[in-house]
Structure 1
């Protein structure tokens, strides 16, 4: 809703499932936004404005300073989000220390060494999908298991525990979850990872958790919180990107020739076009900052709209057109600045391999329901689909 030059509620509803939320069009690159608690802050929509906010050290990501644009059970986690190891909620120099330790674990070379294993996981899940038979839910049968297996492989998490962490992380990521449900799920995840870290300390293996333990620079509390972030981010985002991207391709199968011609460019364009982190990130001005001719006062929160920024016509020609051949250089689906997604190279590799393998194995893949009957994740912090019924 709009009132006197400001938005009174952050839009989340969508007329078209693949376009940014309704009501974002025609707004200034920086627009006033009324937050859930009445705070008058800002919504950044323009590509340049978003980059400026995310890269300027005068903005903080500390949770105790932020206001939330929507009422959410996540607000109950404010104190926990500031705990040791929760580096995405820290500013330098605390953030710098953790990022330095983790960057070496996510190099492009290391991610590429995982490619054969990712290919094998993908093929095995396609085999499972084929054994299940048509019709099937592509989310439960493919989009969710593949990144779950990959992040388990990377971290050294027993895959037998996947249902527990998938259930709990879904509750944590549901924007409308009740506060007590969020806290219960968060505690369950923390306990699960605490047991895992203790097991790795007793018997190290060839995985990321054991590697971080070997540095002797992290306490168990820090490592548990780091793994909590990586585990949730490593399967929630990629799983929803796989499913939503497949949904979009199934509505326009003419695009598949471009997908097979250059899977990497196709994945980059799908990331731009769909932009699944659709609520936030949020930053807080530590001092007065001028961006795009507007002065953001110290203490004011700024919510960034990555979907809007990735459809900015000043950056991308014909931004509302899906063009798998464009490459989408400069897209912001992984964020920008010092908090840019740590696992972005892993996600790119997964998407490139998964889309190509899926549509090669099932060239006749089609939706098993009407497009409008696919349930959307507008109630979640990461956008996507709850289910994707397909047939072949």
Structure 2
């Protein structure tokens, strides 16, 4: 199967050996970040540095001033990688080593945007804002994300793109110094905590027959026993219905799916228009449960494969977890890229990659993604190289 490894431009820029080292793993492609959220990243093999601190969400190329002129919402430039266009510099080096390149574009995940434009953020039932999560129901946010997708995806040298967080973001967030684990919140409770109550969402609930204030009261009532106790381990959509009631839950989902589909269709169309005349592949990081929010956005499998060329699916975990992710795509045409964490220090298991990839293939996966070649240790990469050689 075609295999791609995720990478940051700062893993390559300034390291003349990086591209050949990646090619030596046995991958055919690199998924290279062109727009990314804030992070602190280890660079264990770089000749000049060990830690890169990306202080805020930014694009890793010079944004087009004409495209963004007059827009209140616009991408932020980066300052932590040397050079005017670190994405292009890294992509050129990787291509020189015989590797194809896909752009890796993180969209609805941007804490600086939320800090500077707080009215754009998701607001929960208690009135708390999530600055990392722009509300995709807001027209200005929708327009910003569609334009960012087009610009950040179709970079020079890229033969395709992989769009992350192209949908709802919510409560769950890998946050610095996070202090939210004192109460257990299963994914059902997290759905309730992710429902947005900004003015646009309240109007949207009204369009599908829900009163926004009544919904807010219902959500808070459903969550009240959790705060009084130890939380809730309810999982899946049946858990959401148990907490909130099936009728109300299904109506909230109808609104959110409508919004997410509109954004996904518009963004994919904008990318294809930008790439007109090029053989350009568009994939989404996705989860087949439509209610899920986050980096792997909830989708309807048939709809998303009729919209984009394929999906990148989270496949780290046991056989049952892979079956749950890949099973709903059975019989559908398109790229099904199984994404495996190969950083053992971050919960990955590169030692079982050969076996896990074979299992994913038996479930219909036709490509592999490896997260993350820049962050992995030397032994992790050796295990990956061995698995790809044998596979």
With normalisation by structure 2, the TM-score equals: 0.26
Question: More strand per residue: 1 or 2?
Answer: 2
